[in-house]
Homo-oligomer: A and B are copies of this chain.
Amino acid sequence: MGARFFSLFVFPLVFCALILLALSIPSFSSPVRLSSPQFLGKFSRRPTSSNKLPVKRYRYDVRYFDQRLDHFSFSDDDPRFRQRYLFSSDHWTGPDRMGPIFLYCGNEGDIAWFAENTGFVWEIAPKFGAMVLFPEHRYYGESMPYGSREEAYKNSTTLKYLSAEQALADFAVLVTDLKRNLSAQACPVVLFGGSYGGMLAAWMRLKYPHIAVGALASSAPILQFEDIVPPETFYDLVSNDFKRESTSCFDTIKNSWDVLISESLKENGLSALTKAFGLCRELRNAQDLVDWLSSAYSYLAMVDYPYPSNFLMPLPGHPIREVCNKIDNASDGSTILERIFEGVSLYYNYTGDVSCFELDDDPHGMSGWDWQACTEMVMPMSSSQVGSMFSPYNFNLSSYEEGCRQSFGVSPRPRWITTEFGGHDIKMTLKMFGSNMIFSNGLLDPWSGGSVLQNISDSVVAVVTGEGAHHIDLRAATPEDPAWLVEQRATEVRLIEGWLNNYQAKRLISVM
């Protein structure tokens, strides 16, 4: 859903490194560092609108469920928290008809925002007679332990229970309790999720087969760990999205970093850059600007939808094409940085009502994803010399770990996810032991490189679209949907129908 570079915890390191490099290295190649991008990061949405939710389009009740903070150890002293979840039984056919339960695995943000941006689930629920559930992920939105976000995010002692395993157990406990209360034990649960939520859906299907009969995991990079896919994959894919629109656009961006650093080192260079890029506050270092620009490119790749959208920012259809148009067709004599500014303005100011750009929207905030990236979600990312339009960068686990220890006092466990959920041999595992999973991906999405792109068996299916971006299939249908998207959603509906028919048939036999 979004990417974020140079997350805050790496920032002090980056800053020092930048100074040192600027002083010691004559060439300006590779003066900046890239940290792992995030699905949702600080530049994904406008600072002013980041907490504002879109108009509520779907009907649901907001409910709360009392959860234990630690499912995997036993103590009466451990705190509990109130998990928010959205609930709709408007179209549910109920227990007697084994009406299914559609459960969206809430990811790293406000669940209401995900619900509004997951129209697909709401739109197909009536056809299936399904209940719809959107449980929120712990430590996000309103589902805060310790009473407030401030307390929950205080330190590693309060944050230690923010993990995928605990979140999955939350979902399992919630839906089991709900089914019991509704005498709906026989009603099949189908999981949905996009991005990190898609990873959760896939993992929950693997780990809780007694709870969920199938999972649609959209844009879920479950293989973006350790050495399973090359670390250059993500940035190469972003870069390809630009190159396919325009080679000169790609080249302009690729060449811009050295120019930017070079400008920043001139006398009053940072002031000049502040002015050139219309920033609200004086630029403190070039890295901030690099970060802001790089983020825009990655987010653009994720939301490179074929129609106008307002998922992260308000954007036209094919936004990368539009950005490259701006870059390529800037007035004659424009400098390289002027072209870059023209391009990036399309992302950050498409509506034209931004008077200046704020690079430091949340100076104090450590995001929940920063914590997750510093514990189990260690996704190595490099930028290649050749295929990437970003500055070359080699992921370095040691400095990554050091950054995490400095920021959170916690050491990452880079091998834990593959131990707990698998990964290295996932295709073999899914082929032999998996079933009822859809991995859907659009190849424009830079996260697609870390997902499952090949059919694995009759019931572990990859739905791949050449022109799709980040979980576009989960978005509400629009009149502008291209034929491939309509077809993609129809395929997914047909597969889900198959799971449910199979389940209901077997269930009826087993009861008889």
Contacts and interface: CB of A to CB of B under 8 A. Distances in A.
Interface of A: 70-77, 156-157, 159-163, 165-166, 169, 172-173, 176, 185-186, 206-211, 213, 375-376, 405, 409-411, 413, 415-416, 418-429, 431-436, 502-503, 506-507, 510
A228 to B, nearest CB: 12
B72 A410 contact: no
Nearest to A511: B428
A99 to B, nearest CB: 17
A75 B157 contact: yes
Given A429-B209, A433-B435, A506-B428, A75 B160 contact: yes
Nearest to A428: B510
21 contacts: A70-B73, A71-B72, A71-B420, A72-B73, A74-B156, A75-B410, A76-B409, A76-B411, A172-B419, A172-B420, A173-B419, A176-B415, A185-B425, A186-B425, A209-B432, A210-B426, A211-B419, A427-B510, A428-B506, A432-B435, A432-B502
Given A70-B73, A76-B409, A76-B410, 15 more contacts: A71-B72, A72-B72, A72-B73, A72-B163, A73-B160, A74-B162, A74-B163, A74-B410, A76-B405, A77-B156, A172-B419, A208-B422, A209-B434, A210-B426, A432-B502
A440 to B, nearest CB: 21
Contact of A74 (B160, B405, B419): B160
Nearest to A207: B207
A433 B74 contact: no
A431 B74 CA distance: 32
A421 B502 CA distance: 22
A290 B188 CA distance: 47
B76 A422 contact: no
A330 B161 CA distance: 63
Interface centre among A77, A419, A425, A427 (most CB of B within 10 A): A419
A172 B376 CA distance: 16
Given A169-B420, A176-B415, A419-B172, A73 B428 contact: no
B74 A376 contact: yes
B165 A72 contact: yes
B210 A156 contact: no
A172 B417 CA distance: 11
A425 B210 contact: yes
Contacts of A157: 75, 77
A206 B157 CA distance: 31
Contacts of A172: 419-420
Q: Which 3 A-B pairs have the closest CB atoms?
A: A210-B422, A72-B72, A74-B375
Contacts of A186: 425
A71 B75 CA distance: 16
Interface centre among A72, A207, A416, A424 (most CB of B within 10 A): A72
Nearest to A212: B433
Contact of A166 (B72, B76, B376): B72
A142 to B, nearest CB: 22
A411 B75 CA distance: 8
A72 B74 contact: no
A209 B433 contact: yes
Contacts of A423: 210
A498 to B, nearest CB: 13
A185 B429 CA distance: 13
Contact of A73 (B77, B161, B415, B419): B161
A209 B210 contact: no
A433 to B, nearest CB: 4
A292 to B, nearest CB: 30
A422 to B, nearest CB: 3
B206 A176 contact: no
Nearest to A413: B74
Nearest to A205: B433
Given A185-B425, A207-B207, A427-B510, A213 B72 contact: no
Contact of A210 (B70, B71, B161, B421): B421
Nearest to A426: B210
A173 B208 CA distance: 20
